[in-house]
Amino acid sequence: MTSVGSHPTETGRRDVVLAAREVAKHFPIKEGVLQRVAGHVKAVDGVSFEIRRGQTLGLVGESGCGKTTLGRVVAGLSEPTAGAVLFDIDSETLAAYDGGSSVGDIETAHKVDALTGDAYRRFRRNCQMVFQDSFASLNPRHLTIDIVGRPLRVHKEASGSGLTERVVELLEQVGLGRQHLYRYPHQFSGGQRQRISIARALALDPELIVLDEPTSALDVSVQAQILNLLHELQQANDLTYLFITHDLGVVRHMADHIVVMYLGTVAESGPTSAIFENQHHPYTKALLGASPDVDAAEEFTGLEGSVPDPAHPPQGCRFHTRCPVATARCGWEVDDVVRWIEDEPGAAGRLAGVKRDSAFAAELAFDDAATAAVVVDAIRSGRIHASMPEAVLKAESRDSRVDVEFGAVPDVELSVRGPGHVAACVHESLLDL
Ligand X SMILES: Nc1ncnc2c1ncn2[C@@H]1O[C@H](COP(=O)(O)OP(=O)(O)OP(=O)(O)O)[C@@H](O)[C@H]1O
Residues in contact with ligand X by CB under 6 A are: 27, 41, 43, 61, 63-69, 246, 310
Task: Name the strands in the sheet holding 240-245, side by side, starting at the edge strand that comes first in the sequence.
Answer: 127-130, 208-212, 240-245, 56-60, 257-262, 265-271, 421-423, 415-418
Q: d(Cα 150, Cα 136) in Å, to the nearest integer? A: 17
- List the single partner that 372 binds among ligand SF4, Mg ion, ligand X, none, CB under 5 to 8 Å by kind: none
Q: Give the interface segment with ligand SF4, choosing from 22-30, 51-59, 204-212, 424-432 (CB under 6 A).
A: 424-432
- List the single partner that 246 binds among ligand SF4, ligand X, Mg ion, none, CB under 5 to 8 Å by kind: ligand X
Q: d(Cα 283, Cα 9) in Å, to the nearest integer? A: 39
CB closer to ligand X out of 65 and 112: 65
- List the single partner that 43 binds among Mg ion, ligand SF4, ligand X, none, CB under 5 to 8 Å by kind: ligand X
Q: d(Cα 426, Cα 329) in Å, to the nearest integer? A: 7
CB closer to ligand X out of 90 and 335: 335
- Tell how strand 421-423 and strand 401-406 pair up: unpaired
DSSP state string for 166-182: HHHHHHHHTT--GGGTT
Smallest separation (angstroms) from ligand SF4 to the CB of 329: 7
CB closer to ligand SF4 out of 228 and 429: 429
Q: Give the interface segment with ligand SF4, choosing from 22-30, 203-211, 324-332, 339-347 (CB under 6 A).
A: 324-332
Q: Give the interface segment with ligand SF4, choosing from 27-35, 104-112, 394-402, 423-431 (CB under 6 A).
A: 423-431
Residue 398 host element (H or E): strand 392-398
Q: What are the start-end ranges of the E strands in 231-349?
A: 240-245, 257-262, 265-271
Smallest separation (angstroms) from ligand X to the CB of 424: 18
Asked if residue 326 binds ligand SF4 (CB under 6 A), the reply is yes
Sites for ligand SF4 among residues 300-319 (CB under 6 A): 317, 319
Size of the site for ligand SF4 (CB under 6 A): 14
Judged by phi (left if over 0) then psi (alpha if -120 to 50, else beta), residue 28 lies in beta
CA 385 to centroid of chain Cα atoms? 28
Q: d(Cα 46, Cα 29) in Å, to the nearest integer? A: 19
Sites for ligand SF4 among residues 91-150 (CB under 6 A): none
CB closer to Mg ion out of 68 and 223: 68
Asked if residue 327 binds ligand SF4 (CB under 6 A), the reply is yes
Give the CA distances from residue 315 to residues 78, 321, 329, 411, in Å, rounded to whole numbers and listed in that order.
27, 10, 11, 7
**Contact residues for ligand SF4, defined by CB under 6 A:** 281-282, 317, 319-320, 323, 325-327, 330, 412, 425-427
